[in-house]
């Protein structure tokens, strides 16, 4: 069984009211009592998902790997996020499955790994590579080397 039908940056207005399945890392959790907003991140981008069941997020931590299934809906005008490709849409979650929980406190925040000491970043390189800037740099270097080898 597939654990996703789309990547996090692929959703468009063509997907409005469609059922989709996404998978990725929990980037942020904003719990507003009865409704929680999760920024779900994969290697392609970020999508906001909305969870109305507190039981689904009780033990959820940042950087846990999850799969969600739900319906694509348009965000309210005041909640549109122009910084991300899917900023005008969100997914109303029916089913949330934890594929791999993050059980420990992380040694540093993924988005702020540039401010972390280099020895810590190298020790936890697998976490450092989740940082978008570091990831993009590795991809760029790979493309340059591939181009030079042609």
Query: What's the domain range around 126?
Result: 110-149
- Same-domain pairing of 61 and 18: yes
Give the CATH number, domain containing residue 27: 2.40.50.140
- Same-domain pairing of 31 and 73: yes
Q: Is the pTM of this model over 0.85?
A: no
Listed residues 100, 119, 136: the one ending a domain: 100
Task: Give the Cα separation of 129 and 110 in Å (integer).
Answer: 9
Domain count of the fold of the chain:
2
- Same-domain pairing of 127 and 89: no
In a domain, 2, yes or no: no
Tell me: the pLDDT tens digits for 24-82? 999 999 988 889 999 999 988 999 999 998 777 888 888 999 999 999 999 988 888 88
In a domain, 7, yes or no: no
Task: Give the Cα separation of 84 and 150 in Å (integer).
Answer: 34
């Amino acid at each position: 069984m597939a654990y996703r039908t789309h990547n996090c940056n692929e959703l468009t207005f063509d997907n409005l009211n469609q059922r989709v399945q996404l998978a990725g890392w929990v980037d942020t959790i904003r719990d507003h009592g009865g409704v929680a907003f999760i920024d779900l991140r994969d290697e392609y981008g970020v999508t906001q998902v909305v969870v109305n069941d507190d039981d689904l997020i009780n033990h959820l931590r940042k950087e846990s790997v999850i799969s969600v299934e739900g319906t694509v809906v348009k965000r309210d005008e005041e909640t549109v996020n122009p910084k991300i490709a899917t900023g005008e849409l969100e997914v109303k979650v029916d089913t949330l499955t934890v594929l791999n929980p993050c059980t420990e406190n992380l040694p540093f925040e993924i988005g702020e790994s540039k401010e972390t000491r280099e020895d810590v970043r190298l020790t936890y390189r697998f976490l450092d590579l989740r940082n978008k800037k570091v990831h993009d740099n590795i991809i760029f270097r790979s493309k340059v080397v591939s181009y030079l080898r042609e």
